[in-house]
Amino acid sequence: MAFNNHPDRPKHWQPYQVKLIDDKWVSFRDVAVHTIRMGDVEDPDLYVAQPISKWQDSDAGKFIMEHAVEKPYWHRSTDPASYGHRYDIVARLSEQNETFWRLKWGNK
C-alpha cells in the first residue's frame, strides 16, 4: 500500500516540474483556479455542472481552458464548514500564465 501524505490531493495532481523548452527553463505546477461550494445534495456531481459551465464561459475560465498545459479537472471533497461539498477546478499552468492569472483573477 502506498503512503499518501495528502489524502485530499486529487488523483490527477502532479508535482512541481521544470522543463527546458526552446533553450529556456519553464516551470509548471497544478493550481486550484476556481472553487465551488454547495450544500448537501443528493447528486452533487449533477448540481455542479451548471456552475462549472458558467465559470468556463467567464473570462477567467476561457483563459484557463486556452492556456492550461493539460485539460483542467475538478476534484470533490467534503466541506466541513457547511457539511456540504467543495469542488476545486485544478489546472496545470506555466509560471508565466499562473502569474498573469493570479494578477488578473486570482484573489476574487
Residue, of 7 and 100, whose pLDDT is higher: 100
Q: Which helix (H) or strand (E) holds 49?
A: helix 49-56
Domain regions of the chain by residue span: 17-106
Q: Residues near 60 by Cβ (< 8 Å), separated by ≥ 6?
A: 33, 34, 101, 104, 105, 108
User: What does each C-alpha distance from 29 to 2, 5, 18, 69, 72 come to in angstroms?
Assistant: 23, 18, 9, 10, 12
Residue 82 reports pLDDT greater than 80: yes
| Mean local confidence (pLDDT), 57-67 | 94
Residue whose cell numbers read 483563459:
63
Average pLDDT taken over every residue of the chain: 83
* CA–CA separation, 65 and 56 (whole Å): 7
Residue 9 reports pLDDT greater than 80: no
Residue 2 reports pLDDT greater than 50: no
